[in-house]
Structure 1
Amino acid sequence: MNFLAHAWLARGGSDEFLYGNLIADGVKGSDLSAWSVEVASGIRHHRRVDAFVDGHPVIHSARSRAPQTLRRYTGIALDLMWDHFVARQLQLDVVESRLVLRCYHLLEQRPAPARLALMMPVLVEQDWLHRYVDFDFTCRAVRGIGQRLSGPNRLAELVPWLEADYAGLERDFQRLWPAVNDELEVTDTGKGSSFNRP
């Protein structure tokens, strides 16, 4: 669910590639034949980034600090926190991002997969990507996504932990974000393969 972070990592690609990165969480399965080559490439790129991040020691450390009964829900909450920290790094409270506007244009012009069809128009209309710079808004977004899940709102129950561990999560991001960018830089220069487009 970290749309802004994935958009930033895909910003150098074509619009189709960027769009694939934005919608990837709404696409299930390995058969991507219904999508254009570039959109499918963007979806795969998003998935490879997720796999790298999910396996990173920073993520294991962050999850280990979350309340034990809620750890299975931390992935979504952490995704939104990473968007918050990216928004802060990009100073989206004082600068209107051309990348964000590009993302909104793509999402307005192309239909989202069914799993994201209700969320995407709201994300654009309410300007979530700029507003993630505000921690209170980010916490409201975490609670709101939790309302869409069945059963009790476990994501809302995670918000007090996000507030209490904010400094620790910021340190996690400061370790994680350069690692992701370094991995992309290595593979873009042909020294690795995990993020190379097929």
Structure 2
Amino acid sequence: MNFLAHAWLSRHGSDDFLYGNLIADGVKGSRLESWPTAIASGIRHHRQVDAAIDRHAEVLRLLQMAPSAQRRFTGIALDLVWDHFLASRSPDVALVERCYQVLGERQAPERLAGMVPAMIDGDWLQRYADFDFTCRAIAGIGQRLRGPNQLAALTPWLRDEYDNLEAAFFSLWPDMQHRFSE
């Protein structure tokens, strides 16, 4: 759900490519033939970025540090934490507005249909600059998962490890930019 990071890494592409990057988490399966070419390319790009970040040494290190009970949910939280650092350290109002415009002009996939309008109306992409808001968003995602809210349970660890998370971001983000920016 790290819309801002994916937007940043795809911002030089067409609006369709950007749209594909933004909605990829709402698209199931690998068969993308029904999507226009540029949107399908954006979806694939998003998935390549996700795979690379999931294997990044900093993410693997943080996963080992995370509380064992929430470890399997840590990657979800880290995605939003990366958006927090982008929003707070490198705000890009023009990119955020472009994302909202691109998302607002098109129908989101069913899995994102309720969330996208709320994200636009609530200006989430800029509000991620506030770490408290980011933690509430992480806990909100946890409410949509089955069982106890492990993401909410993870937020104290995120707060305690904030400096470590920031250092990890400044290590991994240049790698992602170099590898995936067009």
Q: Give the TM-score category using the shorter length.
A: over 0.9
Q: Indicate conservation of the 8 Å contact 2:91/2:126, yes or no.
A: no
For residue 124 of structure 1, what is the aligned residue in structure 2? 120
Residue in 2 aligned with 1:151?
147
Q: Which amino acid aligns with 1:163?
A: R
Q: Partner of 2:51 in structure 1?
A: 51
1:113 maps to which residue?
109
1:103 paired residue number: 99
Q: 1:161 aligns with which of 157, 161, 164?
A: 157
Structure-2 separation of matches of 1:116 and 1:150: 18
Distance apart, 1:183 and its partner CA: 1.6
1:184 Cα offset (Å): 2.7
Q: For residues 29-63 of structure 1, what are the alpha-carbon distances to aligned partners after superposition, in whole Å with 9 as ceiling and x for unaligned?
A: 11001110000000000001111111111110011
Cα distance in 2 for partners of 1:117, 1:4 equals 18
Opposite residue 41 of structure 2, the aligned amino acid is S
Matches within 5 A, 1:1-198: 1-91=1-91, 97-184=93-180
Deviation at 1:89, TM superposition (A): 2.0
Identity of matched residues, %? 59
The alignment's C-alpha RMSD in Å is: 1.0
Aligned length: 182
Read off the aligned partner of 1:5 and give its amino acid letter.
Answer: A
Distance 2:179 2:8 in 1: 14
Per-residue deviation, 1:149: 1.2
One-letter code aligned to 1:150: R
* Counterpart residue identity of residue 4, structure 2: L
What's the offset of the Cα at 1:124? Answer: 0.5
SS of residue matched to 2:31: coil
Secondary structure (helix, strand or coil) at the match of 2:104 reads helix
Q: For 1:158-198, what per-residue CA distance to the aligned partner results, in whole angstroms no more than 9, with x for missing partners?
A: 0000000000000000000001112236xx5xxxxxxxxxx
In the alignment, structure 2 segments of 5+ residues that lack a partner are none
Task: Return 5+ residue gaps in structure 1 as ranges.
Answer: 189-198
